[in-house]
Amino acid sequence: MKKILLFLLISIAVKAQLSSKAEVVLVTLAPGKELHAAFGHTILWINDPTNGIDRAYSYGTFDFKTENFYLKFLMGTLPYTISVHSMQDEFNYNAQYEKRGMIAQKLQLDSLQKNAIFQALETNLLPENKEYAYKFFYDNCSTRIRDMIEKNAPGKYTWTQNPSLEGKSYRDWMNKYLAPNSWVTLGMNLALGIPSNVKATASQSCYLPDNLASATNLASKLSANPVSLYDAEVAPEAGFDFTGPYVILSILTALVGFFTFKNKFPYAADIALFSIIGVLAWFVFFLGTATNHEVMAWNPASLMLFPFNFPLVIWFARNPLKWKIYLQIISVLCFIGIVWSGMQFWPMVLVGLPIFIRVCYLSFIKK
């Protein structure tokens, strides 16, 4: 009964028309503390005081209670939805509770364009339309709003006026929001494949909410000057993390190099090293080949880490002479993978160097 009532209410809303006093407002949230909020968020607010309409639409909503949540998230099959709340509720939660900055930009649209956007949003809310396959770079909370505006207000964006949003890859834009010396940053970069290195156009760079807000602001025909709804306190800049990957992996590489040079690297250490890196290698390979995350495909990190080294290490580390050809081939592939990965994000080199040192040494043992 509740579902039927909800369907009827949404159907009525879809047919409703906005008054001449209605406003369409782009609201941009600053990045939050949690990883899923680290890149900010975009809300499209329809405010029509004449008709009592106050609806703040958000894409990219997900439910932690979804059955097999973590498996679906890993596989890229987790259903994401559009949701709607009042602007007051959004403000209370994001500004008052999460302490995230909020900036509003009123879009300069005519009545037909405003109504077209409103009807499209309400149509998306219908049960048969609200779920979609989320794509971090291509189909998220920001790109959906961008596409909504472009479709229903064609010609309002003037992308050629936004050279500051061109020239960077999807990966470069992502890393701008992540701490350099961070295990999360390293892990996310290890998981991304060649598609993430594509240079994003000004429009494509708007997968980030801040970029969409910037593009909207620069497009003088599209929006009024931005207004701050809430100014969050500026978080202190994080200092150098001595437990981050730069330090830990550099120490590991130095130890592997030292004991290899001294010819005192034991068989058990090879087993441990190749097993730990091997589990990571198989995980990276799985993400790039067995999930719906297309941006993780064709990953050079798989060459650098080479999954088959685990469990083959059990045999080639004990009898390297019998595996000489294999080890020499792996040395070449690992070198290519290190160079290629380093060109994308240089700290990834630190993950591959210990493996490279060992396979090179084992491949040149003569007795």
Q: DSSP states of 59-118 as a string? A: EEE--TTSTTHHHHHHHT--EEEEEEE-HHHHHIIIIIIS---EEEEEB---HHHHHHHH
Name the token pair of 191.
Answer: 């998981």
Q: Does 10 have pLDDT greater than 90? A: no
Mean pLDDT confidence for 138-158: 90
| 222 lies in some domain | yes
Residue 15 has what pLDDT?
60
Shared domain check, 154 and 266: no
Residue 8 has what pLDDT?
47
Shared domain check, 357 and 218: no
Beta bridge partners of 41: 29
Q: What are phi and psi of 232, to 5 degrees?
A: -80, 155
Residue with tokens 């306190």: 233
Shared domain check, 222 and 116: yes
Shared domain check, 161 and 63: yes
* CA atoms of 46 and 236, how far apart (whole Å): 35
Which region among 65-74, 140-149, 315-324 has the lowest average model confidence (pLDDT)? 65-74
Q: Does 12 have pLDDT greater than 60? A: no
| 212 lies in some domain | yes
| 277 lies in some domain | yes
Shared domain check, 253 and 224: no
What residues contact residue 211 under an 8 Å CB cut-off, 6+ apart? 142, 165, 173, 205
Shared domain check, 134 and 22: yes
Give the domain range for residue 70: 12-166+201-230
Q: 233: buried, middle or exposed (CB in 10 Å: 19+, 13-18, 0-12)? A: exposed
**What's the number of domains the chain is made of?**
2
Residue 159 has what pLDDT?
67
Mean pLDDT confidence for 81-106: 95
| 124 lies in some domain | yes
- Quick: pLDDT tens for 168-188: 999 999 999 999 899 999 999
- Quick: pLDDT tens for 274-313: 999 999 999 999 999 999 999 999 999 999 999 999 999 9
If pLDDT is split at 50, 70 and 90, which confidence band does 129 have? very high
Q: What are phi and psi of 102, to 5 degrees?
A: -135, 130
| 195 lies in some domain | no
Is the bond leading into 154 cis (omega within 30 degrees of zero)? no
Mean pLDDT confidence for 216-229: 80
Shared domain check, 225 and 98: yes
What residues contact residue 144 under an 8 Å CB cut-off, 6+ apart? 59, 60, 82
Beta bridge partners of 133: 79
| 272 lies in some domain | yes
Shared domain check, 121 and 81: yes
Shared domain check, 258 and 150: no
| 134 lies in some domain | yes
| 109 lies in some domain | yes
Shared domain check, 303 and 249: yes
pTM score > 0.85 for this model? yes
Which region among 75-84, 85-94, 150-159, 303-312 has the lowest average model confidence (pLDDT)? 150-159
Shared domain check, 221 and 315: no
> For all residues of the chain together, what is the average pLDDT?
91
Shared domain check, 224 and 302: no
